[in-house]
Each structure stands twice: as C-alpha cells, then as structure tokens.
Amino acid sequence: MKRLLALTTAAFTALPLAPAAALDAAPGTGAGGTHGTVLDAAPGAPGAALDGAPGAPGAGDPYFPDQGNGGYDAGHYDLALDYTPSSNQLDGVATITARATQALSRFDLDLVRTLTVRSVTVDGAPAGFTQDGSELVVTPAAALPSGQGFTVVVRYDGKPTYVLDPDGSRDGWIRTNDGVFNANEPQGAMTWYPGNHHMTDKATYRFSVTVPDDRAAVANGDLVSSTSRGGRTTYVWDARQPMASYLATVSIGKFQLTDTKIGGYRVITAVDPKLAGKAGGFAARHAPVLSYFSSLFGPYPFSSTGGIVDHEPNVGYALETQTRPIYPVVPSESLLAHELAHQWFGDSVTPTRWQDIWLNEGFANYAEWLWLDKTGSKTLQSSFDAAYSKPADDPFWQTPPADPGGPADLFHDAVYDRGAMTLHALRRAVGDSAFFTILRTWATEHQYGNADTPAFVALAERVSGRSLTALFDAWLHKPGKPAL
Ligand code: TRP
Ligand code: ZN
C-alpha cells in the first residue's frame, strides 16, 4: 500500500506500449479476412445477422481506453503455463470460455507483443489472428451469432516483462532473483496471458503452472494439486468465484507453502525463505482480521484466504490479489487489514470504471482505521483527525477522490485518505446503524460484481432516507477542504 512502503520509481525501462488504438478503429486489420464491417452490421443491412461486426478493441474506460474488449463476455480462463525462472521462458496455453454479446465477425484479446502467439482456435477450428500493439485480433472461421457460447484456445510463448504505468510504478510479470512477483493492477494482466482485461469482465479461473521442482507457483483460490514429474512440478489452483483480471496472480519462487484450516478459514500462505524469520505466525494472523470484518461487512466472500510474502524490495506496493494478497515485505497489522478489507471492497465488489478506485482504496483505508481502533493501537477518531489536520491550502485537498483526474493519479493520497474520511463523514451524518447497513448492503448486493460511485450514493440515500448530495459533493466531487 502506497503510503507505507517507499515507492521506487527509479529508471526502469518501460515496455514499449502501442499508442492508444482508436475506439472506432476501422475494421479490416484482422488476419484471415474480415467478414463483417461496421456498415454491414447496420440494422437491416443484408448479411448483418450472418456476418456480424468486429468487437470493440477497448471497453471504453476513459483512464485506460484500450483495456478490455467489446462483443463478448469471458466466463472462464484455463491457463496452462510452463515457466523457467532462469531463462524467463514462458510457454502458455490459454483456454477461454466466452459468450458473444453481439453477432461477432472478429474480436480482440489483450496481450502484449512481447509474447508471440503461435496459434488460435475458436471452437476447435483454426482462426485468423494478428498482434497489433497490445491487441490480439482474432477472426474466427465463421462469425459467431449473438448470444452464442464459444471456446478460444491461444498458444503463445516468450519472455514476459512488466509494464510501466502512467504513475511510474511497475505492474505485471516482475522478475525476482528466484521467480516472479506478479501483481497486475491496473494493466499487468496483458503481460502474461490473453484476455478481456477490463475489470467489468469477471471470470472464474483454473491455473496449471509448471515450474522446476525447487520453486513453487502460487495463484488465486484453492490449491487443488501439486504433481512432480521429470524434475518439474505442476501446481493446480482453482479460483472458483468470479475475478477481475487485475486481481489474478501467478507468483513463482522459492516459497514455504502452508495450507491450514484456522478459525474456519482455509489459509494458504507462501513465504519467501529470506523473510521466513520475520513471518512467524503469518497464517494465524488472518482469521482474527477476517472474522472482525465479517461481523461488520458480511461473510468473507471467498473459499480460501492467505497471502504471498515475496522478497522484492523494488516493487514498493502490496496488492489485494483475490483470496491471497501479495506483499513485498512481511505486512504490518494495518497493511494486512488493508489488503484483507479489499477482499470485500475491490475484489468481490469491483468498480465499474478506474475513476471509481476510491471505492477500493477509501474503503480499505477506512477498514485499516477500524482494525487499529479494534485492536487498541489507534482510535478511529485520531486516524480521522490526523488525516483531516492537513491545512486547507495543502495541495492534497485539490484532488477529489471520486475522479482523481487520470491514470497518473490513480493511487493519489486523496483516493486513500480523503476516501476514508468520506466514509467517516457519512457515518457521522447517518449514524452507526445506517452506516454499517450501507456497507453490508453494498457488499451483498454487488457481490462478485461491479458498481460505481453513483450506485453507492444512491444506496446511502436509500438506507438512510436522507439526501446526501451536499455531503458527497463536498467530500468526493469538489476540490477544497470540506468543513466538518
Ligand atoms: N491496490 C494497492 C493497495 O493495496 C495499491 C497499488 C497497486 C499501488 N498498484 C500500485 C500503489 C502502484 C502505488 C503504485 O493499496
Ligand atoms: Zn489498497
């Protein structure tokens, strides 16, 4: 989490990313011929129903316009990956089950060109494909009717690397001295597997990752098996609840793996032996935090929990990878609470647009305050007061959390601290009972889904029976220090 770990933005070389592809990009660049064009698909045009139209190359998010794709909805990813840390060689087979949401002549998956695609099939038949910037453009042999389920198999290989984000941080496939620190918020998923990588398209996952016997591969969800053959071990993980791409992880290295049942939770941890001395009791620290948050926010939403502690001093942040956050150090109590709170706010309930990121960070920051208060290390009011004490002319107050302005300010302090202060202001306005009903209802109504700021405001007004426009305007939308 940004404010607790010094973020290094040293001279890492950026992976060259293609310039933003226009959302209205002209069709016709796909290999294997283009059956439909946008004009063909005009209502009533002859051939539209048969041939379909290309799916959009982006989901239309103003912060990351190319991210995600239109025209289909991914339901399940089966990722079979073979990785050798010493050479950084990745060989992958991605089997993606999806459904067409329009008659589809062609569609995109997000994948950087660092990886080379060898073949693509759609429902078993060879499909045309090209790699255009970070878009893998697939043209099935026959157009897919709207509503049809289909299976895409992509074979690819290469030596993956990370992306450099607009805020100067790295995400994606980040090599360590013994493997990979794999954190993918906001853009990293396209550095290691093809998919529909905007957070609005959630899917379930199976990971089958093969690594040398002296390494482990740790992913999201439940460990199903680990099988050694010929000096290499295959780890199989099932992420059974829907997940956004940016929350996926396949982290690889020398790890001490534990898989235990503690306090009713299946806790799976992976700790780098270099940090093992500092990580005593790591697995046992999860249940108390999760049961406190369950009492406030509703049941823990996933079938297992745990964490990955991987020595990587240059990353500078932790991430709430679903079910199993990844940390570059042994987490403090507040960092542990932060990433575990994200399992409700961010992972189970995910924003609809990147500008709504305060729904993740403001909530997780507030949950840190709640945990520090509960455990007696700092009262909630003093956490609020410390954040609020910044003078009115501090530039901090110029950034409204509900739209920090662009991708370079995605993780601005205001998103965290002012986001958390917004929740405290709401609590003071509506009272404890309505406030926690709002949080629980938010987590329940949008479980495994996506929601945006207007939906949260509407819920708060519905539960409290009050108009809260002035409060949210002052705290979320307008620059300037809100009065108490
Ligand atoms: N979501 C992370 C958290 O737990 C923050 C994060 C992800 C981040 N990527 C980042 C922060 C890059 C700073 C820079 O708060
Ligand atoms: Zn966070």
Tens place of pLDDT per residue across the chain (484 aa): 444 454 333 333 333 333 333 322 233 333 333 322 333 333 333 444 468 999 999 999 999 999 999 999 999 999 999 999 999 999 999 999 999 999 999 999 999 999 999 999 999 999 999 999 999 999 999 999 999 999 999 999 999 999 999 999 999 999 999 999 999 999 999 999 999 999 999 999 999 999 999 999 999 999 999 999 999 999 999 999 999 999 999 999 999 999 999 999 999 999 999 999 999 999 999 999 999 999 999 999 999 999 999 999 889 999 999 999 999 999 999 999 999 999 999 999 999 999 999 999 999 999 999 999 999 999 999 999 999 999 999 999 999 999 999 999 999 999 999 999 999 999 999 999 999 999 999 999 999 999 999 999 999 999 999 999 999 999 999 999 999 9
Distance of CA 276 to CAs 175, 213, 306, 339, 394, Å?
20, 20, 15, 20, 41
Closest-lying ligand 1 atom to the alpha carbon of residue 361: 15
pLDDT for the residue 50: 61
What is the CA(339)–ligand 2 centre distance, in A?
6
Q: Whose CA is nearest to atom 15 of ligand 1?
A: 1
pLDDT for the residue 5: 55
Tell me if 83 CB under 6 Å of ligand 1. no
Helix 333-341 vs helix 358-374: angle between axes, to the nearest 10 degrees? 130
Quick one: tokens of 149?
């389920």
Task: Kindly list the protein residues that place their beta carbon closer than 5 angstroms to ligand 2, a single-atom ion.
Answer: 361, 364
pLDDT for the residue 463: 98
Tell me if 169 CB under 6 Å of ligand 1. yes
Closest-lying ligand 1 atom to the alpha carbon of residue 325: 4
pLDDT for the residue 28: 30
pLDDT for the residue 313: 86
What is the CA(248)–ligand 1 centre distance, in A?
14
Tell me if 367 CB under 6 Å of ligand 1. no
Quick one: tokens of 100?
């067409």
Q: Are 14 and 163 in contact (CB under 8 A)?
A: yes
Note the ligand closest to the C-alpha atom of 181.
1
3-state secondary structure the chain: CCCCCCCCCCCCCCCCCCCCCCCCCCCCCCCCCCCCCCCCCCCCCCCHHHHCEECCCCCCCCCCCCCCCCCEEEEEEEEEEEEECCCCEEEEEEEEEEEECCCEEEEEEECCCCEEEEEEEECCEECEEEEECCEEEEECCCCECCCCEEEEEEEEEECCCEEECCCCCEEEEEECCCCEEEECCCCHHHHCCCECCCCCCCEEEEEEEEEECCCEEEECCEEEEEEEECCEEEEEEEEEEEECHHHCCEEEECCEEEEEEECCEEEEEEECHHHHHHCCCCHHHHHHHHHHHHHHHCCCCCCCEEEEECCCCCCCCCECCCCCCEECCCCCHHHHHHHHHCCCECCCEEECCHHHCHHHHHHHHHHHHHHHHHCCCCCHHHHHHHHHCCCCCCHHHHCCCCCCCCHHHCCCHHHHHHHHHHHHHHHHHHCHHHHHHHHHHHHHHCCCEEECHHHHHHHHHHHHCCCCHHHHHHHHHCCCCCCC
Ligand 1 pocket mutation pick from 411, 412, 413, 415 by most atoms within 8 angstroms of CB: 411
Which long-range contacts does 17-22 make (Cβ < 8 Å, 24+ apart)?
17/112, 17/133, 17/134, 17/163, 18/66, 18/113, 18/132, 18/133, 18/134, 18/135, 19/133, 20/65, 20/66, 21/57, 21/58, 21/65, 21/66, 21/132, 21/133, 21/135
